[in-house]
Structure 1
Amino acid sequence: MTRHPQPAIEARKDIDFGLDSDFPKYWNADDPFKTRIMDALQLSFPDGERYFISSVRAFRDRISDSQLQHDVKEFTQQEAQHGIAHTRFNQLLAAQGMPMEKILNELKDYIKRDQARYSDEFNLALTAAYEHFTALLAETFFSRKEVTADIHPKMCAMFAWHAIEEMEHRSVAFNVMKTVAKVGYIKRCIAMVIATRHTTSVMFNYADELLQADGFSWWQRRLMVLKNLNWMYGRRGILSSMLPKLLMYFKPGFHPENIPVIHNYGEWVRVYDETGNPHQACDALLAAAY
C-alpha cells in the first residue's frame, strides 16, 4: 500500500484556549447529548495519555534508530501537553457538578488492570490501536465544516490542536510496536477490537452518567440516543464515517501512513506558526475544510 509523507512532530506547549468558568455547559450545538458524548470521550484523555506514554516508554531502551528515538521524545511531550489541557477541562466538568472523581477513579482502575493483565507488548499494541482511532476522529471532525459548525469556538480550538498533533504522531506507537516490540498481525488485530470496544463503551456509558447527573431521566436519555442515531451512524455520521479507514487497520500490510493527513492540516500549522494563536489556527483549518 502507498505510504504518504508524514509531517514532523512538534510539541506545542502552554497553550491557553480560554476555557474558564463562564464556558457554556452544553457547548456542542447547545445539545446535551452531543455535548456529553464528547465530554465522555475527552474525560478519558489525561489518564489515557499517561497510559500511552508508559506503554511506549517500556521499549525506549531498546530503540536504536535515532529518528524513532526523536519521535518517541516528541510523542511523549505532545501527549503530556494533551493530558494537561484535558485535565483542566475535566476540572470545569467537576465544577458543573459532574461526578468526575468517581469516573476518573474508575478509569484509573481500568488502566491499572490492563497494565497488570497484559504484557508490555500487548499494552503497546493497544496504544497503537487507540492512536489509530483518535487520528481518525481528528480527520472526522476537521476535514468537513459541517461537523464542527455548532461547536463552541474555544472547545473547537482545543480539539483542533489535539487533532493536529494526533495526526503528527499517529505512527510512533505503531512503529515501536512493529520494529522494536515485534508484535505480530493477530495480536495487533485483537488489540484494535478491544480498543474500539473500550472507546465506544467509555463514550456511551459515561455520557449516560453525565446526562443522569444533569437530571435527565432514563427515558429522556434513551430518546436522546434515538434522536442522534443519524448524527452518529448516518451516511455522514461522526462514527460511521470512520469505519472504512478503521477497518484498514486489519489489512496485513497496513501502516498508519497509508492514510494521508487531512488536506487542510497545513493551514493550521501555517497560521499557528505565524501567530501562536490556536483560535486563529482553528479558523484557518475550518476555512479550508470541505
Structure 2
Amino acid sequence: MTAHDLSTSGQLPEDQLPITVREGLDFGLDGDIPRHWFGGDPFKTRFFDAMSTLFPEGERFFIACVRDYKDQISDPAHKQVLLDFARQEAQHSKVHNAFNHRLSKQGIKVDKILANQRRNLFDIARKTMSKGHTLAITAASEHITALMSHTFVENRHHFEDADPRVRAMYVWHAVEEVEHKGVAFDVMQQVAHVGYWLRVWALLMVSIQFPMFVFQILNHMLKVDGFNRWQRWGIWLKGLWWLYKPGGLMGPLLRPYLAWYKPGFHPWDAGAPGEFQTWMRVMQQSGDPIAASDALQPRA
C-alpha cells in the first residue's frame, strides 16, 4: 500500500521502507557501559539519556492516539500497517525501559520522570483534548523523531565517540522511526481529516515542549552526576554550542523541520537515507545490531 493514501492499496513507493518488527535484539545494555558513554562527555551523554527516559510513555501515547482510529480503517493491509507501527513502538519502549533501568541505578529519578510523563500525556492531554488534537501531536512528534533519525544517521561523524552498544540502540531506533514515519501522518490526514492549522499548532507545541522536557531532565542528571552550579554552566555552554553551532548536531534538521509547514507536505517526500540500506544489509547478514550500526561509521 502507499504511504500517501490510506484509501488505496498497491505497491510500496520506491523510496519507502517496509515496516519490519525486529524482536529480541541484543544490544548488550547489561554490560559495562560507562556512565558517560558518549566520549566521556556528560552533556552529550545526558542529552540522549534524557530522551530515553521520555520514550516509553511517549511511544505508548503514540500507539493509543493512532489506535483511536483503527475501527475506521477496514482494509486488512492498512490495519496491518497500524499493527506493525504499534509493535515497533512497543519494542522501542521495551528496549528503552531496559536502558532506563541502568539510569535508575545511577540515581536518576526515572520513575518520577515516567510518572510525570504519564500524567501529562494520559491524564491531561488524552482527557482534555480531542482525538484529532492528540493524533496531530503524535504525527508532529513522529516528524521530529524521524528527521532526527535521518540527520543523525547521515551525519554519522557526530557519533564516533559514542559507546557502540548505545549507538547501536539509537541507530536501530532511528531506522524503525523512518520505516513508520508516515503512519500517524496518514491516519491524521486520510482518516481523522485534521486540518492544516491544527497540524501547524501541533508541531509548534511539540517544538517547545519536547526540548524543554529534555533539558529539564538533562539538568537533573548533571546534578545527580555531582556537578556543581558553575560546572554545570560550563557543561551547558559547551553542550549547547555542540547542538546549535554551524555544522552542529541540530543544524541539518532545520530545512526538513520547516517542510512540515508546507501545505502539501508528506513525510515520505524526503525518501529514506541510503545509509539505512547499509544497516539493513549488514543486519540481515549478521543478525547483530551492533555490527550493523558500526557499518555506518566513518572508516579511518
Structure 1 length-normalised TM: 0.95
1:23 to 1, 12, 33: 33
Residues in 2 aligned to 1:283 and 1:213: alpha-carbon distance in whole angstroms? 31
2:160 to 149, 158, 162: 149
Residues in 2 aligned to 1:161 and 1:281: alpha-carbon distance in whole angstroms? 9
Gaps of 5+ in 1: none
Residues in 2 aligned to 1:258 and 1:194: alpha-carbon distance in whole angstroms? 23
Residues in 1 aligned to 2:297 and 2:269: alpha-carbon distance in whole angstroms? 24
**2:230 counterpart of 1:223:** no
Equivalent pair of 2:136/2:202 in contact (CA under 8 Å)? yes
Residues in 2 aligned to 1:285 and 1:65: alpha-carbon distance in whole angstroms? 37
Q: Residues 118-154 of structure 1: CA distance to partner in whole angstroms, max 9, x if unpaired?
A: 1111111000001010111112211123111111000
SS across alignment from 1:43: helix
**2:149 counterpart of 1:138:** yes
Residues in 2 aligned to 1:61 and 1:220: alpha-carbon distance in whole angstroms? 53
Identity of aligned residues (%): 40
Gaps of 5+ in 2: 5-12
The alpha-carbon distance between structure 1 residues 59 and 271, as it changes in their structure 2 partners (threshold 3 A), is same
Residues in 2 aligned to 1:166 and 1:33: alpha-carbon distance in whole angstroms? 24
CA apart distance, 1:191: 0.3
CA apart distance, 1:248: 0.5
SS across alignment from 2:296: helix
Q: Residues 3-62 of structure 1: CA distance to partner in whole angstroms, max 9, x if unpaired?
A: 862110001001110011521100112111111111111110011000000000000000
2:137 to 115, 122, 126: 126
Match of 1:214 in 2: 225
- Bigger drift between 164-173 and 143-152 goes to 143-152
Equivalent pair of 1:4/1:259 in contact (CA under 8 Å)? no
CA apart distance, 1:196: 1.3
CA apart distance, 1:273: 1.4
Equivalent pair of 1:55/1:127 in contact (CA under 8 Å)? yes
Residues in 2 aligned to 1:64 and 1:179: alpha-carbon distance in whole angstroms? 13
CA apart distance, 1:217: 1.8
SS across alignment from 1:286: coil
Residues in 2 aligned to 1:284 and 1:23: alpha-carbon distance in whole angstroms? 20
Residues in 2 aligned to 1:107 and 1:217: alpha-carbon distance in whole angstroms? 27
How many residues align? The count is 287
Residues in 1 aligned to 2:257 and 2:140: alpha-carbon distance in whole angstroms? 10
Match of 2:175 in 1: 164
Residues in 1 aligned to 2:37 and 2:84: alpha-carbon distance in whole angstroms? 31
Residues in 2 aligned to 1:4 and 1:231: alpha-carbon distance in whole angstroms? 35
Matched to 2:150, the amino acid is E
**2:84 counterpart of 1:74:** yes
Equivalent pair of 1:142/1:286 in contact (CA under 8 Å)? no
CA apart distance, 1:254: 0.3
The alpha-carbon distance between structure 1 residues 79 and 230, as it changes in their structure 2 partners (threshold 3 A), is same
Which structure 2 residues correspond to residues 1-290 of structure 1 after superposition, within 5 A? 5-20=15-30, 22-112=32-122, 113-287=124-298
SS across alignment from 1:24: coil
Q: Residues 219-250 of structure 1: CA distance to partner in whole angstroms, max 9, x if unpaired?
A: 22122111123210011222232111101000
- Bigger drift between 196-205 and 87-96 goes to 196-205
Runs of 4+ in 1 over 2 A off after TM superposition: 2-5, 64-68, 285-288
CA apart distance, 1:190: 0.3
Matched to 1:138, the amino acid is S
Residues in 2 aligned to 1:286 and 1:52: alpha-carbon distance in whole angstroms? 31
Matched to 1:242, the amino acid is L
Equivalent pair of 1:4/1:258 in contact (CA under 8 Å)? no
Residues in 2 aligned to 1:218 and 1:136: alpha-carbon distance in whole angstroms? 33
Structure 2 length-normalised TM: 0.92
Matched to 2:121, the amino acid is I
Q: Residues 144-203 of structure 1: CA distance to partner in whole angstroms, max 9, x if unpaired?
A: 231111110000110011000000000000000000000000000100011111111121
